[in-house]
Amino acid sequence: MKKTLGIIGAEQQEIDLLLEHLSLEKTVKKAGLSFFCGTIHDYPVVIVKAGIGKVNAAACTQMLIDLFDVKMIVNTGAAGSLDSRINIGDIVVSTEVIQHDLDVTDLGYKPGDVPGTGKVFTSDKLLHDLAVSCSHEANPDVTVYEGLILTGDQFISGQEKKNWLIDTFHGLCAEMEGGAIAHVASLNEVPFLIIRSISDKADGSATMDYTQFSKMASYHSARLVEALIEKLLAL
C-alpha cells in the first residue's frame, strides 16, 4: 500500500499545477483550510494551501498528520536566493532547514537554535535523492542546487539582512514556511522535504522580482514535485 504524501504550498499559485493533475476524491475543510484528497498518477496525496508564515505552516502540517495520517510531507513554493550562483528560476532541494528568526542568543544559544530540540532539521534522504534524480526530467532548463534552506517570518528584501543571513547561516535561499513544516514533521517523526524555486534575489529588487517571477518559480517547484510523485509510484 502506497504511503500518502502531504503536499503544502503557502499560496494558491504554488499548488495550482498539482491540483490540475489531481484526481479528486474528496475535499475536507478544517480551520479555514481546504484539504484536497485524491491521487496524482495513481499515487495518494493530500494537497493544501497553508497560508503564509510559520504559524500557518505549522498548524497545517499538524492537521495533515492528525487528520489524514500522511506518511511523508513535501513543501513546494518560491524563495529568495542567498547565493550568487543561484538565479531566478533555479531550484533548491533541502538537505537541512533552519529557522533563522528564532533567537535566544541572550540565553547562550546560537542563532536559529530551538531550545530542547536543536538547530537543524534534516530532510529525508530518500525524498531528497528521488527529487534530485528527476530534476532534469522535470525542468530540463533549470539548475538544481542542494543544501540548507532558511525560514523566517520575514520577506527578505534588503541587502543588510541578506548579508547577515549569509554570514550567519550560509544558507542557499530564504523563505517563510519550510522550517516550521520541518519542525512539526520532525516532532511527529514524519519524513519531509522542502523544494523551492527562486523568485527573487532577496535584495532591494526582491519585491518587484517576486511579483514578476513568483508564478514561474511556483511552476518549476510544482513540476519537480509531480516528477517526484512519479518516482514514488515506481518504488
Distance CA 76, CA 222 (A): 6
Does residue 153 carry a catalytic annotation?
no
User: What one-letter code names the amino acid at 53?
Assistant: G
- The secondary structure of 49-112 as a DSSP string is E--SSHHHHHHHHHHHHHHH--SEEEEEEEEEE-STT--TT-EEEEEEEEETT---GGGTPPTT
Close Cβ partners of 46 (under 8 Å, ≥ 6 residues apart): 4, 5, 6, 7, 35, 36, 37, 64, 68, 70
Helical (H) or strand (E) element with 199: strand 192-200
Q: Which of 79, 83, 50, 72 is nearest to 180 (CA)?
A: 50
Reading the block at residue 178, the C-alpha cell is 519550510
Which residue in 153, 177, 200, 209 is the catalytic one? 200
Does residue 200 carry a catalytic annotation?
yes
Longest dimension (CA), the chain: 51
Report how far Cα 160 is from the mean position of its chain's Cα atoms: 24
- Residues tagged active-site: 14, 200
